[in-house]
Structure 1
Amino acid sequence: MSSDSYAYPNSATGIVFSGAASVPTKPLKEDEKQFESATSSKTPSILDSERGDIFEDERHLAKYLVPALEKGVKNARLKPPTLWIKFRVWYNPYRMLYTFTFVLNMIGIVVAACGKFPYAEAHGAALALGNITASVACRNEFFIRYFLYWPLVHVFQKWSPLPIRIFLTGFLQHLGGIHSGCATSGIAWFIYTVVRTFQHRHVKNTPPAVLAWGVLGVVVTVVTMVAAAPWIRAHHHNFFERHHRFAGWLSVVFVWIFVCLADSLRPDGSFTTEGRHPVKTQEFWYALCITVLIAIPWSTIRKVPVEITTPSPRVAVIKFGKGIQQGLLGRISRTATMEYHGFGIISEGIESNTHYIIAGVQGDWTRGLVSDPPKTLWTREMKFAGLPYLAHFFRRGIAICTGSGIGAVLSTTVQLDNWFLIWIGSDMEKTFGPVLFEMIARRMPKERYILFDTKKEGRRPDTMKMLKDIYVAFKAEVVLITSNPAGNAELMQGCKENGMHSFGPLWDS
């Protein structure tokens, strides 16, 4: 990044790593002067930061003063990022995977329509169900955690070259691109198959029942897809829950009806009750895989007691029994089947007897946790692996979050001593209560965290300057960002400009 992209104040009042109140500027000791000199120069690239130690003793980080902006200034950037940087952040692996899967399938449909793909002519339904199976697998807690995250992390963590670990992190985090791409492609194959069935209905003596179920299946799957559109998910969550989930389940029922009809259909267009051998058909096994994958997480739902405290009208702190390993997220609901919401889990480790979920008020459901806190909640015992689970890939990293984003990363920085925490918020102790701060003070040394309270300080931190300083000083390999969409984009653009690897939330689940 060019030197004039950001403006840094010559003197800025910050807070000490421990998150204590502001301290007045005072003459620096010799070792502090060395630190100031080391961090005020232009930040090296990722390759530079891997060449050697910035400090002989990491404990010097406890004396770092956070660079702060002038009062009223929200951003140190003097000019916007280039269009190329914006595009690189926007066109992330999620969109790349979606493009790849969708375009590949569309090529297949075009080739099949031209009569050059005989397999598709005979097994169009299998291609549709194969795509749907891949789509369901890429959103399934069991498959993702135990067949992708766990083996890849254990095989490649820390020892493998950094570019490989960055690639794997990007691929695993953005599996939703395959989910969306294969779901859209599966529906396209369904439409293609139904159209071809209508075209050949006289030649193949296709009964009206098969045609009707084909049309119904297409309608239901299209409703399932439309309900999952990003705008609908973000602004009409209840509509998304009802239609995407229940229409999806209904689609599975229609799939089984189709498999049974196809198995009992005679060449002359009549049906037989004898049944042949459905286990020999591809459609049967795809339908079975879809059914099992959907059923496994739902078989683990439990109603559990909870303790909810509301330190402020903006946050509910939910306490559960049982310790949880870092990197896992949970889904909770007031009912057994409706309106499940995913949250990061805070726990000191599996040896602990408690874990917490921080629910920031963002809509009616989370507002209800504050105004009418329940004594029990429904949850899935099978937790799903999120981006913080992939922290094991890296030798050292930084987790930076704002507000209730602490819920996604605190377990990682508490349980892994090679991770650094930066938490920025407003009136933080009053908003979130003492539990999280006591956990941080008890489990993390002062040289591994920054807590910046914008209300207490009366200004915002110079976030990118701070990130660059800590990235070099802590010899980090990656930055995990948990902020709102605007903050996430800003930080990822800044990291991209400065050659720092970073990953952030996708809001696609």
Structure 2
Amino acid sequence: MAGGSIPAYSDAEKGLVDVHAPRSAVPPIFASMPAQPYLADEKKVEALTQATLVSPPKEKQETSLPAPVAKPPSKPKKKKVSNWVLWRLWFNTYRKFFTFVFSLNVVGIGMAASGHWPYAVQFSGAMVLGNLFCAILMRNEVFGRILYWLVNTLFAKWTPLWWRLGCTSVLQHLGGIHSGCALSGCLWLILKVVDTFRQRNVSHDSILAVGVATNLAVAISAVSAFPWVRNTHHNVFERHHRFVGWLGIVFTWIFVILGDTYDPDTRTWRPSGVHIAHQQDFWFISGMTILVLIPWFCVREVDVDIELPSPKVAIIRFKRGMQQGLLGRVSRSCIMEYHAFGIISEGPHAKYHYMICGVQGDFTRSLVNDPPRTLWTRELKFAGVSNTSTLYKRGVRICTGTGIGAALSTCLQSPYWYLIWIGSDQEKTFGPTISGLINRHIGPERLLLWDSKLRGGRPDTMKILKEAFYTWEAEVVFITSNYIGNSEIMQGCKEAGIPAFGTLWDF
């Protein structure tokens, strides 16, 4: 395929859930299976799972599959979702965090600007950098991994379900605190610079100039991270949010040092390291710098093997195993164009872990047309919502297409999770590596593979999901799909009262 053009792919081949696609007349695989009893004894469950790992012969599987539907039925009418359900899904924990943090800061800014909070005026630099420090902290891989580890260690399985669901929701939506603090920090910075200009008769010109430059850099970095920029113009987001953000940190250092060494009363400079070290803003900017640098200390160029089972997918193989629920960033360059993918691994002690890259943009297409021998990656991986699967006794993991990359590890490493994978000709598209992992580790009693090409269309997703959820006696559903598919499954789960967590785009 090197140098060749890539043919156009159907939505089914890309793994996009089209909820308007015709339903198949074929019932789900597990619809005819007896309900599996809930086994509280983990050893019994493990023994049952190990006993069913061996899949039936290929000939038997093929003969047991129903014949393709020649002419699918007409499209079902889309069910209208109530405004209350839509509101609850829209005003999720992310937006609740953002609203709380941003509102609290707006009140503080109003009090400071009106003269009712002199402390915030006197230490406005600390108010700016305190918010920006929290914003960066929420996106730091080390901090995130520590939070996930603490929650998974302290609250797994024994705590009430509502508490565990709340923990998952909080961890998944930490981006709301990140966004709220970042935007609030920008507003506090504007207030500080405006106040500095109001006192320009006693301020030095260099402080005014650096204050404006810092404001511009921080504002550009914040605006470039808005969802509509980040999700539709990834390279634009990355260049501005990262490099202009780094420039903003440099300007902030200069702004802090100049502001802390200049005495407006005597209009003289007091370059005292002891005095600077006693200022709050010095320690905030120091912490911000450390948090930004930590992930980059973990960047390495590593050897990779790339499998191309089809022109639609590249499977990257790395050395060493991983725990479930992690995501990794890879790039051809050490500092540019990092792309995040879910990690597939049989466990921390496995020999390899994998990433599935569906052909969508220039980067993933280059993996197919010009497979590299090495890639740059951060050895410190970051945790995703699936990492909290250990909190639950049993669950359902549903995904479409290349979403299997983020979903499979959970089901490989735990016998208490049921896998639903909807796609088109999965074995041919994703190759023997992924099929082999599924056949070796996931028994038929907790697996539904829906081949939309063979079955003549997409299934009634909510129907098979509900059957799996109640038959498996699950506590939660994790979803990995495209925007439309994720939205419709989340809406269906919310209406049915099924706890579910889907893919995020507001981050």
- TM bucket (normalised to shorter chain) is 0.7 to 0.9
Partner of 1:156: 155
Give 1:272 deviation, angstroms. Answer: 3.1
Matched ranges for 1:309-328 at <5 A: 309-328=307-326
Structure 2 Cα separation of the partners of residues 469 and 246 of structure 1:
49
In the alignment, which of 203, 212, 219 is matched to residue 216 of structure 2?
219
Q: 1:230 aligns with which of 227, 232, 244?
A: 227
2-side partners of 1:265 and 1:275: how far apart? 12
Determine the structure 1 residue equivalent to 2:130: 130
Alignment CA distance shift 1:72-1:209 (3 Å): farther
Report the count of equivalent residues: 469
**What amino acid does structure 2 have at the position aligned with 1:201?**
R
Q: Deviations over 1:360-386 (max 9, x none)?
A: 112111111111111100000101111
Conservation of the 8 A alpha-carbon contact between 1:73 and 1:459? no
- Structure 1 residues 469, 70: closer, same or farther in 2, change over 3 A? farther
% identical aligned pairs = 49
Question: What is the letter of the counterpart of residue 323 of structure 1?
Answer: G
Q: Does 1:335 align with 2:319?
A: no
Deviation at 1:14, TM superposition (A): 3.7
Q: TM-score, normalised by structure 1?
A: 0.87
The answer as to 2:204 corresponding to 1:207 is: yes
The equivalent of 1:171 in structure 2 is 170
More displaced stretch, 486-495 vs 101-110? 101-110
**1:332-384, Cα deviation, whole Å (9 max, x unpaired):** 00000001111100000111110100011121111111111111000001011
Cα distance change, pair 181–274 in 1 and its aligned pair in 2 (3 A): closer
- 2:447 equivalent among 445, 449, 454: 449
**Deviation digits for residues 450-495 of structure 1, max 9, x if unmatched?**
1111001112211111111111111111000000000000000000
What's the CA shift for 1:251? 1.1
How far 1:507 sits from its partner (Å)? Answer: 2.8
| Equivalent residues of 2:321, 2:346 under 8 A apart | yes
Q: Does 1:13 align with 2:11?
A: no
Give yes or no for the alignment of 1:256 onto 2:253: yes
Who is 1:246 aligned against? 243
Match of 2:104 in 1: 104
Q: Distance in 1 between matches of 2:294 and 2:474?
A: 38
Answering whether residue 207 of structure 2 is matched by residue 194 of structure 1, we say: no
Q: CA RMSD in A?
A: 2.9
State which of 427, 450, 464 in structure 2 corresponds to 1:429: 427
Counterpart of 1:433 in 2: which secondary structure? helix
Please state how far the C-alpha of 1:299 moved relative to its aligned partner. Answer: 0.1
Q: Measure the CA separation in 2 of the matches of 1:10 and 1:195.
A: 61
Partner of 2:26, secondary structure, is coil
Gap regions ≥5 residues in structure 2: 1-18, 56-60
Give the partner amino acid of 2:243.
F
Q: CA deviation at 1:78?
A: 4.7
Q: Name the CA distance, whole Å, in 1 between partners of 2:203 and 2:273.
A: 17
Aligned to 2:383, which of 368, 382, 385?
Answer: 385
Looking at structure 2, the residues matched to 473 and 73 of structure 1 have their Cα atoms a distance apart, in angstroms, of 27
**How far is 1:164 from its partner?**
0.7
1:186-236 Cα deviation digits (max 9, x unpaired): 00000011111111232xx11111111111100000110111121111221
Q: Between the two structures, name the one with larger relative contact order (CA 8 Å, sep ≥ 6).
A: 2
Unaligned runs of 5+ in 1: 1-5, 18-24, 39-48
Amino acid in the other structure paired with 1:479: V
Distance 1:464-1:65 versus aligned 2 partners, 3 A rule: farther
Amino acid at match of 1:423: W
CA contact under 8 A between 2:24 and 2:459: conserved in structure 1?
no
TM-score when normalising by structure 2: 0.87
Conserved 8 A contact 2:24-2:456: no
In the alignment, the residues of structure 1 paired with residue 446 and residue 393 of structure 2 have an alpha-carbon distance, to the nearest angstrom, of 14
Aligned structure 1 segments of 4 or more residues deviating by more than 4 angstroms:
56-59, 61-66, 68-78
1:11–1:306 CA distance, 2 compared to 1 (3 A): closer
The 8 Å contact of residues 101 and 178 in structure 1, kept in 2 or not, is answered as yes
| Contact kept? 2:24, 2:72, Cα under 8 Å | no
